[in-house]
Amino acid sequence: MRILIIEDNPKMAEAIRKGLVEHNYAVDVVATGFEGEEQAVASAYDVIVLDLMLPDRDGIDVCRSLRRRKISTPILMLTALSDLEDKVTGLNAGADDYLTKPFQFDELVARVRTLLRRGQASESVVLRYEDLQFDLGRRTVERGGKPIRLSTKEAALLEFLLRNPDCVITRQAIAEKVWESAYQPSSNVIDVYVSTLRRKIDREFDRPLIHTVVGAGYRFGYLSSDTGADSA
């Protein structure tokens, strides 16, 4: 899951970024409204965290402009203003939720998760595929009842794979959802992380779950003999 933070306070932006990364999200940060709008249009995000008061324009204007440009990404607006009128204005501009500063980080994460679940109300906090399960709330992974320790980025990669089982996933799709905008297409970092994740969740089990699809990307799930994928 990829999140864009539009926040001009460096300490606040870094605190939010660091916390969300620890919860397995890929995060990009920009400090101005115009840059944030263009970033949101140019790249696919799952949630936008938008500060109301920015140095070049206010968040209301950014929100309205994004909606006019048909960007439907859920927007969580942050503000130090607590008046009901200000919240109503933000929601009327197209924001999906509103959080008043100062706030507890756990509340921000909960609101982000709520926005991510919209349209997927039946989704559990535990993602499962056969004998593999990932508890998103506790951030624990097990396969066949055996705990598996993953790094933050490995966990984010596994979550994306679990959300897209039994289909070919390109490296570009992984880059867009799991890596930040600083990712370089010429880098082999995705292949390296897939390889380490594969060792952790497949090595001691008879049926591998992560497979390379030559010339296309990867496929997550059990395979029949005629899929053309390679588990090596």
pLDDT at 121 over 50: no
Confidence band, pLDDT 50/70/90 cuts, at residue 229: low
Q: Look at residues 130, 183, 187, 194 and name the one whose alpha carbon lies nearest to residue 160.
A: 194
Confidence band, pLDDT 50/70/90 cuts, at residue 230: low
Query: Cα dist. 155→21, 33, 78, 102, 199 in Å?
Result: 11, 31, 27, 29, 13
For CA atoms 161, 167, 173, 177, give the dihedral sign: negative
Confidence band, pLDDT 50/70/90 cuts, at residue 122: very low
Mean pLDDT of the chain, nearest integer: 87
Q: So where are the chain's domains? A: 2-117, 126-230
CATH code, residues 126-230: 1.10.10.10
Q: Which of 32-36, 85-89, 179-183 has the highest average model confidence (pLDDT)?
A: 32-36
Fold of the domain spanning 2-117: Rossmann fold (3.40.50)
Burial of residue 80, with CB atoms counted within 10 A of its CB: 0-12 exposed, 13-18 middle, 19 or more buried: exposed
- Annotate 49-106 with three-state secondary structure: EEECECCCCEHHHHHHHHHHCCCCCCEEEEECCCCHHHHHHHHHCCCCEEEECCCCHH
For CA atoms 100, 110, 108, 172, give the dihedral sign: negative
Two domains, one topology: 2-117 and 126-230:
no
- Please give the average per-residue pLDDT across 126-136, as a whole number: 90
Confidence band, pLDDT 50/70/90 cuts, at residue 169: very high
Query: Cα dist. 231→30, 54, 90 in Å?
Result: 39, 48, 49
